[in-house]
């Protein structure tokens, strides 16, 4: 009976721990080795479902213009050029259209820790306060 109780505690701990996930912008900051001292408010998030796992997830953040410029200046050295630079997603497109926003860095937006891992697209938006991060599944 004791082994069952211990196993149950381990299982519950694992499930709770796996539900807590760092925001996508935190993962990008980790790849770029940027200290996340910036206050960002999540405006929208969504995902594109695949057969077994999501194909893509996105989060849109609002920050101050000062933080936006600091993040942009630091990440510009880490963002790679990719063609096509825009990942089409209806929910994200609707957000851009509804808020009258444009992407400033469409083609220079990819960041990854290595070429074999999932990659991220970081889009700086035209109001100079909004940043979108897209996680794209490479499997």
pTM passes above 0.85: no
pLDDT at residue 47 tops 50: yes
Token digits for 11? 């299982």
Q: With CA atoms as reference, report the closest residue to 56 among 22, 91, 106.
A: 91
Q: With CA atoms as reference, report the closest residue to 101 among 122, 75, 130.
A: 130
pLDDT tens column, 59-71? 999 999 999 999 9
- Going by DSSP bridges, is the β-strand pair 56-62/80-81 parallel, antiparallel, or unpaired? unpaired
How confident is the model over 14-39, as a mean pLDDT? 72
109 and 82 Cβ atoms separated by less than 8 Å: yes
1 within domain boundaries: no
pLDDT at 11: 39
Query: Residue 124's domain spans which residues?
Result: 22-136
Rounded to whole angstroms, the Cα distance separating 105 from 85 reads 8
What is the total count of domains within the chain?
1
Token digits for 22? 């760092």
64 within domain boundaries: yes
pLDDT tens column, 74-88? 999 889 888 777 777
pLDDT band at 42 (very low <50, low <70, confident <90, very high): very high
4 within domain boundaries: no
115 within domain boundaries: yes
pLDDT at 1: 54
């Amino acid at each position: 009976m004791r082994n069952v109780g211990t196993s149950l505690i381990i299982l519950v701990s694992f499930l709770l721990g796996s539900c807590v996930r760092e925001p996508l912008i935190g993962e990008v900051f980790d790849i770029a080795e940027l200290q996340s001292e910036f206050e960002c408010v999540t405006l929208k998030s969504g995902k594109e479902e695949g057969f077994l796992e999501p194909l893509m997830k996105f989060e849109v953040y609002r920050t101050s213009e000062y933080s936006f410029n600091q993040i942009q200046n630091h990440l510009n050295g880490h963002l790679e050029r990719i063609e096509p630079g825009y990942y089409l997603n209806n929910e994200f497109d609707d957000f851009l259209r509804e808020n009258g926003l444009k992407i400033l860095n469409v083609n220079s937006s990819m960041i990854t820790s290595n070429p074999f891992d999932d990659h991220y697209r970081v889009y700086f938006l035209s109001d100079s306060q909004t940043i979108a991060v897209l996680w794209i599944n490479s499997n």
